[in-house]
Each structure stands twice: as structure tokens, then as C-alpha cells.
Amino acid sequence: MPDGLPTEIDLTRPSAARVYDYFLGGAHNFEIDRQLAEQIASMTPNLAATMRSGREFLRRAVRALLDAGIDQFLDIGSGIPTVGNVHEVAQAANPKARVVYVDIDPVAVAHSRELLAGNDLTGVVHADLREPERILTETHQLNLIDFSRPMGILLAGVVHFVPDAARPEEILSTLRAAAAPGSFLVISHSTFEDQPQEMLDAQRLSARTDTEITLRSRAQITGFFGDWTVLEPGVVHMPLWRPDSPSDVDEHPERFGAFGGVARYDQSAG
């Protein structure tokens, strides 16, 4: 059993993946998850919207990558694929697209396996983002992603689960180093910038799921892209990242409390 992974399944504790599913309208959750979700929602009515906006950002980013010709994705912190999953979005555009899901939550992993059974172009890895080498090795073993070709590395709503002590910048640089030129990196990450106090309080509640969230600044989050080229419009509040239509943009895009950005590995940068 990998070091960072749980050695027992404690269903009396809420799980981030299942709480998230609930906010997205899924029923892949238990009473304990829903209680926490309702509690969070009562404190920050925005939060459900935040989750949706995160999911929408991911969808738009994946679409953008597909448009750029990317046909293989490594989705780390994939959660419970309720709906609008990366493979659905990707395979709708390109039926040959390949996706590897990675999550630390054993229930999420078991669920993904079940849901994806029979889909030969997808795979699931049970691993911890804090062990990027392990993620890369196990992904290699699945033989789905060709590391010599450009791929999309998706880190949506997950890096903030990695505390500073676990050196997230090193984790990111390990992942970037594994990618071929032309690859893309997608990150969405909670921030304290432009946030009201109740958002910061809610963040403290998340300590009751398995992992606490570390809010970071725009500069820190931009740093996770390393020397890759950050694409327009940069690292921005999520709804501002290439909205489907201007009317889609909320009046207060900062209220979702998270930045999103996409960068590309240009040969000259490497």
C-alpha cells in the first residue's frame, strides 16, 4: 500500500470527492458528506456555485486543449466522475482521446473503475499527488498515455490540498519534466486574494474532510506553471477564463475564490 494512501476506509468521515459530487448534484455521496456540504453551503452560499464554476472551467480548458489537438489527458485529483467528466468531454470531441484519472480517495478510485469498466481508452490510478514519481510510473504502466507526445496534465481543484510543507512547486516541476514539448498544464486553485472573510472561514471547515486546503496567491499559483508559456487570458478568476459567451460571466467573478490558468510547454522554454 502506498505510503500516502489511507490504510483503512473510514466511512464515518466525509470525503472531499463525495462532498464535491453533492455540490454538483450527484447522488454519489453519503449522509455524512451531505451534512458537511449543507453546512458549508449555509456558511458560504457561493460555494456550490464555486464548485460548478470550477467544473465549468475544467470543461472549457479541456475543450481548449482538444482544439489544440491534445488527445491524451492525465487528470490528477479527478474525484468522482459524476457528470461532465474529462473523458466524456474529450471523447465527445475525439472518440480516440485517452484519459488517465488519478485520485487519492479509494472510494473515488473504486467508483471510477466501476464507471469506466469497458472503456479501454481510460484508466484509473490510486495515488497521491505528493508522490508524483509514483503517479508517473503507474501511468506509464497503464500504457494509455504516450509520454513522447504532447499531453494535457489536469490539476483542477487539487493542488490546494497539498500544503507548503509537501513542496508543491517540486511536485509540479516533476510532473512538467515528464511531459513532451507541446504539452499543456491546467491548474485551478483556491485563493485568498479578493476573498471575503466567510470564504476563509469555510476553508477551515474543509479540514473536516481528509485534507485541509491551502489558499495561495495568484503569484504562487502562476509559479506552478514554471517556465511554460501561460496562455491568454493568464491566471484569472475562473469564470474569466475564456467564457463560452460574455453573458456567462458572473458579475462578481472573484466570488468563486479560485484562480484558473493554462500553460503550454513551448520547445524554446524547455
Q: 25, 14, 13, 85: which is closest to 51 by C-alpha?
A: 25
Check residue 1 for interaction with another protein (CB under 8 A): yes
Q: List the one residue from 3, 114, 120, 232 that touches another protein (CB under 8 A).
A: 114
Q: Which CB, 15 or 183, lies closer to another protein?
A: 15
Q: In the set 16, 24, 66, 121, which binds another protein (CB under 8 A)? A: 24
* Residue 148: all three cell numbers together: 513522447
> Angle CA(53)–CA(211)–CA(43) in degrees, nearest 5?
55
Angle, CA 108 vertex, CA 97 and CA 54 arms, to 5°: 65
**What is the distance between the alpha carbons of residues 35 and 17, in angstroms, rounded to a whole number?**
14
CB atoms inside a 10 Å sphere around CB 8 = 5
Backbone angles phi, psi at 154, to 5 degrees: -110, 120
- What residues between 137 and 166 interact with ligand SAM by CB under 6 A? 156-158, 161-162
The residue range among 34-42, 55-63, 194-202, 223-231 that interacts with another protein, by the rule CB under 8 A, is 55-63
Residue 233: cis peptide before it, omega within 30 degrees of 0: yes
Regarding 56 and contact with ligand SAM (CB under 6 A), the answer is no
Q: Does 245 bind another protein (CB under 8 A)?
A: yes
Q: Does residue 147 bind another protein (CB under 8 A)?
A: no
29 near another protein (CB under 8 A): yes
Q: Which cell is 5 given?
A: 494512501
Shortest Å distance, C-beta 81 to ligand SAM: 9
**Is 61 among the residues that bind another protein (CB under 8 A)?**
no
Please work out the total of residues on this chain that contact another protein, with binding judged by CB under 8 A: 42
Distance CA 232, CA 226 (A): 16
Nearer CB in complex with ligand SAM: 14/79: 79
Least Å distance, CB 199 to ligand SAM, is 15
185 touches 263 (CB < 8 A): yes
Our CB check for ligand SAM shows the closer of 187 and 263 to be: 187
Among 205, 203, 202, 225, which Cα is nearest to 215's?
A: 203
d(CA 85, CA 55): 9
* Position 129 contacts ligand SAM (CB under 6 A): yes
**Identity of the amino acid at 148:** S
Among 32, 64, 68, 110, binds another protein (CB under 8 A): 110
Cα–Cα distance for residue pair 64/66, rounded to 1 Å: 5
Q: Which residues contact another protein (rule: CB under 8 A)?
A: 1, 6-9, 11, 18, 21, 23-30, 48, 51-52, 55, 59-60, 63, 80, 82-84, 88-89, 106-111, 113-115, 244-245, 247-248
Q: Which residues contact ligand SAM (rule: CB under 6 A)?
A: 16-17, 20, 54-55, 58, 76-79, 103-105, 108, 128-130, 156-158, 161-162, 211
